[in-house]
Structure 1
């Protein structure tokens, strides 16, 4: 099923990132540029780096200048994340473009790629909650609480994976159809953000 396929690639990305555990490390994608694997790996790498950006920026002793630089990196990362989601949706649109959509077909509240985006974030939550649940320097109470949270995350993964696979199957069978709206984010556009427009 596609969800398991994607989750395996997400875990590969997370594991590879943590070999160095450095937000400034070089990025290398092991998959061919024209493959869905390439998109999934890149998508999760962006999420993984941003996860650690978010940790760093919450340091109460961070220098304000460093925090501003990091905030800019987070903004850029969010844009990259959105772009990758749209690329992944384009993969599905292309794959199922010849499907005969049934007259009674319905549209989903989110596209496959946005559901897969949530699965990528969930993979990160599971990875880091596992770390916390097995920390040798943590109290037994802490580890027990984290194990309880991990159990819920794993249940969430099961439910989300099932929903993703069902959505893709429904699209494949013509029971649902895709209609993708570009995010049209306004705050990065010099013509749409009045602050940026005033600086021109």
Structure 2
């Protein structure tokens, strides 16, 4: 059995990851936010939830009816959600690192490193699933004219192409990582603005 085949026993395919994201976006718009997954997909769903919540907070922040107090409240919520989202990207990459160590997969020291981690790509696919869902909502608007629908349909086509391209690239990256052709690392976000000891607007207050 190949190394990649062994890894697939422990790590879901990209198709399974994207299905989880698409299915939960649909379900969460119809009912409560729930995470019924196990293992790596549980982490995927948790990370995805922060993007889901962020998406809707960002909508509120741009509402012309939102007053200054509401915008300030939403901005603070966005900061917390964005920090949690980035923390979960690191947890996804840490989980891959742990699996590689458990399977004793060690690439050569000079093996290439991808410019984007698998966790970051999963995050981008999460956002893309949200974008596709909300673009499709626009096609169903009762007040939408033909020009609006045509514009939205064209963007859906582009989003689907980008989603397919990114899915393929991520699967190839994971295959290369588990075949020891590329090195995998977790890149710490090291955000400064939420750290009271690093943001001068906080520690000087």
TM-score, L = length of structure 2: 0.88
CA contact (8 A) 1:17 1:45 kept: no
Partner of 1:38: 42
Aligned mate of 2:145, from 139, 142, 152:
139
CA contact (8 A) 1:186 1:192 kept: yes
Q: CA RMSD in A?
A: 1.5
Aligned mate of 1:52, from 56, 64, 79:
56
- Cα displacement string for residues 106-152 of structure 1 (whole angstroms, at most 9, x for unaligned residues): 00001100011100000111111111123333111111110011001
Structure 1 stretch 141-150 or stretch 96-105: which is displaced more?
96-105
CA contact (8 A) 1:11 1:123 kept: yes
Q: Measure, in 2, the Cα distance between the counterparts of 1:73 and 1:104.
A: 42
Q: Measure, in 2, the Cα distance between the counterparts of 1:89 and 1:180.
A: 5
Higher relative contact order (CA 8 A, sep 6+): 2
Partner of 2:22: 11
Secondary structure class of the residue paired with 1:118: helix
Q: Measure, in 2, the Cα distance between the counterparts of 1:137 and 1:2.
A: 40
Q: Which structure 2 segments of 5+ residues have no match?
A: 1-11
Aligned mate of 2:181, from 160, 175, 181:
175
CA contact (8 A) 1:119 1:160 kept: yes
Partner of 2:201: 195
Q: Measure, in 2, the Cα distance between the counterparts of 1:176 and 1:170.
A: 6
Q: Which structure 1 segments of 5+ residues have no match?
A: 21-25
Q: CA deviation at 1:16?
A: 2.1
Q: Measure, in 1, the Cα distance between the counterparts of 2:124 and 2:195.
A: 26
Pairs aligned (count):
192
1:74 and 2:78 equivalent? yes
Secondary structure class of the residue paired with 2:127: helix
TM-score, L = length of structure 1: 0.91
